Chains A and B, each alone.
Chain A
Amino acid sequence: MYPDDLKYSSEHEWARVGNGDVAEVGITNFAQDTLGDVVFVELPEIGSKVDQFDKFGEIESVKAVSDLFSPVSGTVTAVNEELEQSPELVNSDPYGDGWIMEVQLDDPSELDELMDSQTYQGTLE
């Protein structure tokens, strides 16, 4: 439910650092479960800047509209356009097909501000 290779924020987003200084970003299983059926994801623009812990978009479920907060700072290099047609991917596969954006990191040391899986799960108790 909370893969070990991800870093987690207290706002329930995750970051997965791949090759180079690029991180994939999405919301956690806890977040998608709490939100309920996701019906819309407002994606950032490719090339736009995001700041760590600042809002980068919105996610709407049958229950509510919530802000999305970026776990990292950097430049958006890709967004998951599949979500425009199939926002339910966030529910069915939050760490895979339900990813939201990819960010070229400004400062990889920022990742130290995030939690590992164990610590994050501890905050959900």
Chain B
Amino acid sequence: MTILIVDDVEINRGLLTEIFKDEYNIIEASNGVEAVEVLNSGARISAMLLDLMMPELDGLGVLREMNRNGMIKSIPVFLITAANSNEMLMEGYNLGAVDIISKPFTPHFLRSRINRVIELYRHRNELESIVAEQVEKLNRMNQSVIETLATVIEFRDCESGEHVKRISGLTNLLLTQVSNTYPEYHLPKAEIEKIALASVLHDVGKIAIPDGILNKPGRLTPEEFEIMKQHTVKGGEILQTIPEIMDAEIYEYSYDIARHHHERWDGRGYPDGLKGDETSIGAQVVAVADVYDALTSERVYKKAFDHDTAVRMIRGGECGTFNEKLLSAFAAVEDKIRRREWLD
């Protein structure tokens, strides 16, 4: 373990080095600029003893730099000072220093205090990296549970499992375009990723629809269609029973998408008859993606339409009305959609 000693006075550095050299590796810096160079060199520093008043860059300057690059969170900094009270010390504390060492030093106390804090930080850094690893594992698990669930539904629907992947890819592509053109929808990249993942569960409610209706080769009777429409409500209900298997935000998105991916801009969709932006932008995008994919795929009751026909039908309102902004975004990336570029 290494301690970085930063003081412009050689006498003070020599003394601190003597106090700690038996237990630690010591790096000395004679001003703030040198200290920052050592920090940026990638050396693993367990603690830093930092003088406040120095030429070139003073102690507060070093602390500000460590706040900027985030190192203040993992390296404990002790301020060295001969002063007993002033605003500088207060500012030092505010900038994240853990403790203050006054000159003249008392070696025994100094060692105990610093050893204790180093031990604490070492422990905390170790725990943080374990937690980060676990979160990463949990996220992977989440994703695979969601994808497995989606594949199970597809299977029942006599689809190959490709449908949900296409919906997810198309959702991502369209949302990215919407986000670039219409900042009012507030769609940072991380949210887009979550919505795209949640979109794979949009038809989870189909699990509750009888085979005879779900896989009927011909046109559905009005009664059968009413039952079919229930897949949106059922989807929401199913997700409500298993919220703990996924991340809270992904749960919110997938519930919203499962329930609302058949709403339409004019309020003539189902199940809630939401109008305009009453439907979230995520559910609106999945709705368009779902319609496009249904049109361009072969189904038990129909042949596949080509891209141009599908686009004409969507624009012509044959599959219900959509948000104009969304249709512009669709048009802007139409070439990519035609070339199926969003599938990787």
Whether A and B are associated in the same complex: the answer reads no
**A-to-B contact residues, CB < 8 Å:** none
**B-to-A contact residues, CB < 8 Å:** none
